[in-house]
Structure 1
């Protein structure tokens, strides 16, 4: 017996009855029944369905799909729980839409993972980072709410920071059909009322376009359902690091408005407990400064005027507020153990030093609509989306500004002026996709389409430092501050204004043909891209630029796949695919801050080209009884890898093209039911990600660690996760479970240059507060490996009430996620760190 899982519906196969299903994403399931109705009547307590796909059970069954069966008298359904109890030990199949069609994970001819709604609930996961622990090859750097960096299979450019607005993402992120990825600031989507989260490994440029050079992540929400009234309410309380309280309240409801219209509404409010303490002047300490909130909701409608046409309009709104950043400092110009006239300060674990409070805010509005028009042999799908985002990063740049003031010979009072660096991003993005896909059951299947996007993005940077102009004019001469302002306001030694106009057009298509047990797939995407960017800067630290740069590119990215069904339980897959990441223009160096050496090394790099890669992989997908094993081996050949480096003392960052690089490795995911109620999962990847080129400056010196054989930044060689779940009916109608997981992440480097001269001695050379400026700070730039252990226990009751208790990061591992340096380490050194031990309880009620 095979159980097919989709959303919360368990479906059971009976050979005497057949129900064929088809569902386009964003609409309820349609079904047609056939077979022996007498037999069906005799099994009134079972739901029967199968869609045959090369010998495997495939189905996607929403509650509305039952209505035609119930109405016909073919199936009686006392409760979903009754059907689920029919075989509680059957192995579940997960339906995904990674190929723009419904298919089980086992039928997708490339490497994919899907975390279901049940996986999310049982693990207590609230972020993509939490989910990544069970996904081989997926690496997340958590830099705070809404600021995570994602890489798949080791394809990584290293750390991207807030003031690199022109850098494009390497992993595309989608909310259902709408692309939402934006380099560092991809929205931190709430996981409530999601059907699943899909991770598509390897380049997905054919169907998902630019930004999917390493892979694609898709958040798939639960869709409105016709004829169904249902809802879920969830409440959580948690304790972070033993003294910071957090929690959330969330709710979702599905309401049928008529027999042709349904509405689904989701709302949530989350309070994040902080875990970073900020030391301040005068010995004051502010606790848990990086706390915050996330609030928002989704409102969507399903409208079906007739069986051939349907629409799913939706509005999503979310606000994120954070009171600081998860930065742990080891050196600060104002707080270190080497001063004499200022109090000596030894910064500890999860501590930082601030003269000013910091904050982060992100307001995101998404309005989209998916429409389907069905023909006899194909469906035309239109996806229209509009995104508006306002992002503000406000941080304490006093140490940065102060370090420049020391260089300029300003008095101590000027060095200590509080200085606030404010980065703002105003984004409007419009996208339109139109595609036509076959819907027949023949051996030939195809999809063709077109894509258009227009992005208007304005990035501003200001450095308000009250009183700075007075000291500037006193030290450098009267009128100096006004002479360098270039039209910007007073008392701000650095200002930048960067409006972007980015347009992209694409045509794509893919077809597959099945002959016997062999299926061949070929596809491709042609893209045409243009970017216009103005750069205007002013202030003492800037160059006084006022320039407009234009870049453009076009290309073709093909994909070829072969899938051979060796048996009903084993399929072999092979793939060759190309991916791309759009290029851009580097910001000019902050010449007044640069040393002569840094100007010579980094001054000649203006444009950077498209990054492209070819991915070659072979894999196997297998299921033997209660054991499922999916594995793949791959080799990725990368051209013009975009790698980010700090430009030394310039307080600038430069993107370089590395001519050649590669990644290669193996990944595997195994799930097994060892006994009734006892399940284990094991996933892991072993990677080699290295430069195959050496980049040198005019003197012949290697630039920033870009040396043949050095590792690509931010990528562990080895990561693995293991989980075990034991579930048992503790009393009639109540199922209990225990779940434990272990994640190991190997060591990494934040930037390519961190591999050179490591461990490294950082010397500020800034004599301030009685310090000589020559006492070094020793840092090992290899981010150490770490292990995270999570535990959860819960009760799942037949009346729709679930209770979950959990402890994440049981042993309070202080995971170092990336290395943070300010002005080459002269102003500040530190790390972005992960969340400490968190204990919580979640209560959920479904109705």
Structure 2
């Protein structure tokens, strides 16, 4: 454990002073009898009221998601303190909690593990960059568990855990709901959703719940083509899926819940706005000029993203009286395809670096990224039931993942036009880059956690997870752009632990103060080799010694103090934390090599404050507020062989993708009408502060980039802004409902804010520079019927 007692005492002391200052008001609240709805969560793998969980947790119900205008995980993150999602395109979001982030991952970094674990109920579904874009219909809630959750959830929950909690089958109840939505996007196309759920009792001991949904995503990006024509709304797409779950009450003590889920996402392009493209820009003097910006990009071919996701799981719970034995088995089969237009990247090499003619550097160059995953997990745990003195859980976990990753850059006609042979040991003709990286990852762990109720006021919790990991890879890289490597083995083994201790003190009936020390970790991995044929001499000398075969486990020690208070008509929660990070896995862009490597930064730190407030102001009005302040930065530097700081990995620089401040406010209004209906409305405002996509973006910003001599540009260099500006999004919803139906009109992104979510670049900005952007103003109507 890091020697940080002085710092810890200072942070906890400051937090406790703030809490103490609030005690008189809380004591007043204790004397006021007000019914407060208590949402039940399973953050500690047992049912308990949200207000009673002794660490920082947010739970958002499906009703609240609809009211706030949330349609995906990114929308939800803007309403929750300390929770951020970096949009990298459909189904390719990166999740961060409490400012712990190492920067944007690229599609060709399959060995980098996630920092936040994502679960569907009890089944893990997170997969590094490819966090599933799950539909939010028929959910009970989404739980966001802040801080390391490795004790109960393992590697990948280094900074927290996100859990989609579905509605479960209900015995003896016939019920259901259907929902339809139509919308249109300013500057874009039309969207539609049709969703339904039904709960069917089958006798007294069996119930079936079936959910089905289909969505048409509206496009809003226009693609300029080489002939000057425009392909409109190229980032439209569809999502279809269904979920079938059964509850079998085999005996009074034995419950069996099998489930099958399938979802297909298909999108025809990406939410990317190009500001500069080497093949289409206003600076060329010998090629047609192209004006970019607004909601335009430049492409030569159609891009695509598809994600076929299947999950089967089985939960068995046996009540043994004073304890419950639970088994969760899951199997995931997933196939992801990303087709990118890499013509700008390839042209910057063939035309810019090599100097071949326009008939070569304008050849279509689709880059195919394929990911296939088969994952089996098994967890068995034994937990106490309603113990008076000691609540406890012990268990074991095992997972076995086979993942096949491949890239294929197909530049048809290249060899014929240039006479350059391209067929390699594995690469076919005209495949200028070809790779296959199959690997297996096996994990095994034992864990346990117990809470001692010392007295009516004081609880002490202690837990520990011991884990072992082994990853085996076989690296094959071929083609004239690659450093040819055939069936080269890469192995990583690691053992790690995740302890935590929590102390919770109930100062009054309505106020609890808690403190926690916990550890999280994520597994290291294997670096891909540099694309040495593409490197210039300077980059080759700089990055060759840094491209180590493997990188180390990343670890976090977290220290926090918090409070949870019931107030008249609502609740108030707050927490302060310090997270010391060891061996941060930072991505380094190897410039002209068109490669990325992971280097470990020895020390980093994230510290901050987060608070959430909910209150029923009157019988008509309610308000929700959330805010977080975060200061996350490197605490050491990484230098290259010359002694120079490597790509802004400098002590004191900010960690990327997360803002220093974000906040949200929502005001709800309901009013019963004389005809038995109820009118309602909700206005939410979400603010996200400025951020950087990568650590390296904060130095030399704006960055001056020398242009390749393609199209005889009228300027020799351009300045590119790399700081992502702050943005505010406003959502509004108004409607009417009865006991069994609802109709609502909504406007999401009311002010038509064009938020820049991440910098998109190719070959160190010299091939392409632009942004991934948010969806413009969206207006629509939703109708919902329940029975």
When the two structures are superposed, what TM-score results if normalisation uses the length of structure 2? Answer: 0.94
The one-character-per-residue Cα deviations of 1:207-264 (angstroms, maximum 9, x if unpaired) are: 1111100100000000000000000000000111244100110000000011111000
SS of the aligned residue for 1:470 comes to: helix
**1:488: Cα distance to partner?**
2.0
| Aligned counterparts of 1:693 and 1:242: Cα–Cα separation in 2 | 46
Q: Distance in 2 between matches of 1:274 and 1:487?
A: 38
Query: Are 1:214 and 2:159 an aligned pair?
Result: yes
Query: Is residue 187–residue 776 contact of structure 2 (8 Å, CA) maintained in 1?
Result: no
| Distance (Å, rounded) in 2 between the aligned partners of 1:306 and 1:843 | 40
Deviates more, 1:92-101 or 1:596-605: 596-605
Instruction: Report what 2:490 is aligned to.
Output: 549
Structure 2 counterpart of 1:163, from 104, 108, 128: 108
Q: Aligned to 1:827, which of 760, 767, 786?
A: 767
Runs (4+) off by over 6 Å: none
Aligned counterpart for 1:650 among listed residues 593, 597, 601: 593
Q: CA deviation at 1:771?
A: 2.4
Alpha carbons 1:152, 1:214 under 8 Å: kept: yes
Between the aligned partners of 1:642 and 1:280, the Cα distance in structure 2 is 38
Question: What's the secondary structure of 2:499's corresponding residue?
Answer: strand
Q: CA deviation at 1:92?
A: 1.4
| Residue 180 (structure 2) pairs with residue 241 (structure 1) | no
Shift of 1:344: 1.4
Per the alignment, residue 525 of structure 1 pairs with: 465
CA distance in 1, matches of 2:699, 2:221: 30
Provide the C-alpha distance between the structure 2 equivalents of 1:523 and 1:796, rounded to a whole number of angstroms: 46
Q: Which has the larger radius of gyration?
A: 1
Matched, 1:498 2:441: no
Structure 2 CA distance for partners of 1:834 and 1:613, relative to 1, 3 Å: same
Pair 1:455-2:401 in alignment: yes
Which residue, out of 569, 577, 582, partners 1:634?
A: 577
**Structure 1 contact 527–555 (Cα < 8 Å) conserved:** yes
Question: What residue in structure 2 maps to residue 425 of structure 1?
Answer: 371
Q: Does residue 667 of the first structure (1) align with residue 605 of the second (2)?
A: no
1:103 to 35, 48, 56: 48
Deviations 1:513-569 (A, max 9, x none): 002210000001001000001110111101111211100100111000000011111
1:121, distance to aligned residue in structure 2 (A): 2.5
- Equivalent in the alignment of 2:118: 173
Q: Does 1:706 align with 2:646?
A: no
Given that 1:410 and 1:471 are in contact with CA atoms closer than 8 Å, whether structure 2 keeps it comes out as no
Alignment partner for residue 450 of structure 2, among 505, 511, 515? Answer: 511
**In the TM superposition, what whole-angstrom CA distance separates every residue of 1:438-497 from its partner, at most 9, and x where no partner exists?**
114321010000000011000010011110122342xx5xxx323xx1222111100000
Per-residue deviation, 1:706 = 0.5
- Are residues 1:718 and 2:664 paired? no
Choose the corresponding residue for 1:844, options 774, 784, 787: 784
1:383 and 2:321 are equivalent in the alignment: no
Q: Aligned partners of 2:734, 2:68: CA distance in 1, in Å?
A: 9
Moved more, 593-602 or 324-333: 593-602
Alignment of 1:597-616 (within 5 A): 597-604=538-545, 605-606=547-548, 607-616=550-559
Taking the aligned partners of 1:704 and 1:581, their CA distance within structure 2 comes to 23
Residues in 1 aligned to 2:418 and 2:115: alpha-carbon distance in whole angstroms = 42
Q: Distance in 1 between matches of 2:244 and 2:541?
A: 54
**CA offsets, 1:588-623, max 9 Å, x none?**
111111111112222222211000010000000001
Match of 1:767 among 679, 704, 709: 709
Could you tell me how far apart the structure 2 residues matched to 1:733 and 1:637 are? Answer: 56
Q: Does 1:587 align with 2:528?
A: yes
Cα separation, 2, equivalents of 1:834 and 1:90:
39
Counterparts of 1:231-270 in structure 2, within 5 Å, are 231-270=176-215
Aligned to 2:22: none
Q: 2:16 corresponds to which residue? A: none
Hey, what's the Cα distance between the residues in 1 that align with 2:86 and 2:431? 32
Show the counterpart of 2:381: 435
Q: Which residue matches 1:487?
A: 426
1:122/1:804 contact within 8 Å kept: no
Counterpart-to-counterpart distance in 1, 2:676 and 2:494: 61
1:187 alignment partner, one of 120, 132, 135 = 132
Q: Is the 8 A contact 1:622 1:628 kept in 2?
A: yes
Q: Following superposition of structure 1 onto structure 2, how do residues 125-144 of structure 1 map, counting pairs within 5 Å?
A: 125-144=70-89
Residue 440 to residue 787, structure 1, CA distance change in 2 (3 Å): closer
Deviations 1:78-122 (A, max 9, x none): xxxxxxxxxxx9431100000011111110000000000211222
Classify the secondary structure of the residue corresponding to 2:644: coil
Write the distance in 2 (CA, Å) between the matches of 1:319 and 1:170. Answer: 25
2:144 is aligned to 199
After TM superposition, the structure 1 stretch with the greater mean CA deviation from structure 2, 248-257 or 113-122, is 113-122
Which residue pairs with 2:21 in the alignment? Answer: none
Q: Hey, what does 2:297 align to over in structure 1?
A: 352
Query: Any idea what the Cα deviations from partners look like across 1:650-680, whole Å, max 9, x if unmatched?
Result: 1111111100000001000001122112011
Aligned counterpart in structure 2 of residue 469 of structure 1, from 409, 415, 418 = 415
Matched residues in 1 for 2:510 and 2:422: separation?
Answer: 74
CA RMSD in angstroms, aligned pairs only: 1.4
Which residue is equivalent to 2:12? none
Q: Does 1:271 align with 2:216?
A: yes
Deviations 1:715-765 (A, max 9, x none): 10011111111111123431111111111111111111111111111222x
Distance 1:492 1:105 in 2: 54
Structure 1 residue 124, shift from structure 2 partner: 3.2
Within 2, Cα distance between the matches of 1:753 and 1:301? Answer: 50
Cα shift at 1:839: 0.8
Q: Supply the distance in 1 between the matched residues of 2:243 and 2:765 (Cα, whole angstroms).
A: 43
Structure 2 alignment gaps of length 5 or more: 1-28
Contact 2:444 2:468 (C-alpha < 8 Å) held by counterparts: yes
Gaps of 5+ in 1: 1-55, 58-88
The residue aligned with 2:13 is none
Name the structure 2 match of 1:62.
none
CA contact (8 A) 1:338 1:775 kept: no
Mapped to 2, the partners of 1:298 and 1:545 lie a distance apart of: 43
Q: 1:763, 1:825 within 8 Å by CA — same for their partners in 2?
A: no
1:777 Cα offset (Å): 2.1
Paired residue secondary structure (1:493): strand
Structure number with the bigger relative contact order (C-alpha 8 A, sep ≥ 6) is: 2
Comparing 370-379 with 226-235, which one deviates more in the overlay? 370-379
> Secondary structure of the equivalent of 2:712?
coil
Secondary structure at 2:498 match in 1: strand
Equivalents in 1 of 2:679, 2:55: separation in Å? 35
Instruction: Using the TM superposition, give the Cα deviation of residue 812 of structure 1 relative to its aligned residue in structure 2, in angstroms.
Output: 0.7
Verify the 8 A CA contact 2:69 2:731 in the aligned structure 1. Answer: no
